[in-house]
Structure 1
Amino acid sequence: MKVQYNREDDVLLVHLSDDIIDYAQDTEGMIVHFSPDDRPVLMEILDASDFLSRLTKITDTAQTGDLVII
């Protein structure tokens, strides 16, 4: 796995494999690219700084066992 961050566009790229990309699906805040056999190849996390800040809040709060609402 390889991770890259594009500060200018605030996009986090998570390369999951070296497979060929056949198509992509856009979900809320994320684009997932798939191989011809439907395996995820690349994830683009849009507004990555916001995503990472929410993720940090979740992991920090999870240590206390409290429910986290984001």
Structure 2
Amino acid sequence: MNSKNIQPKINYEPEADVLSYEITSQPIDYAKEVGNIVIHFTKNNMPVLVEILEATKFLKKAEKLTSKTGNLSVAGA
């Protein structure tokens, strides 16, 4: 992946309750949906955009999980 295309952006759309994480600005060719997560890919199968549908519910579940397991470190952080 070209490092010039990497400018991650996070956006929340409250009306739709969708949290999106734009990984790169490359053109989207197709998307795959798994549960409430939609990942958009380039024609070369590189992820471009990750969307979390029903984001409020997802984040509440994630918060409960981290409170039960303690602080989790993020890979690469």
Please tell me the TM-score bracket, short chain as reference.
0.7 to 0.9
Equivalent of 2:47 in 33, 40, 43: 40
TM-score normalised by L of structure 1: 0.84
**Structure 2 Cα separation of the partners of residues 16 and 54 of structure 1:** 23
**Percentage identity across aligned positions?**
36
Shift of 1:61: 1.2
**Structure 2 Cα separation of the partners of residues 59 and 40 of structure 1:** 26
| Cα-Cα RMSD | 1.3
Which residue of the partner structure matches residue 67 of structure 1? none
Q: How many residues align?
A: 64
Aligned partner letter, 2:18: V
List gaps (5 residues or longer) in structure 1.
Answer: 65-70
TM-score normalised by L of structure 2: 0.77
Aligned partner letter, 1:56: E
Moved over 3 A (4+): none
List gaps (5 residues or longer) in structure 2.
Answer: 1-7, 72-77
The CA deviation string for residues 4-46 of structure 1, in whole angstroms up to 9 with x for no partner, is: 0000110001101111111111111111100111011001100
**Structure 2 Cα separation of the partners of residues 3 and 58 of structure 1:** 22
**Structure 1 Cα separation of the partners of residues 47 and 22 of structure 2:** 9
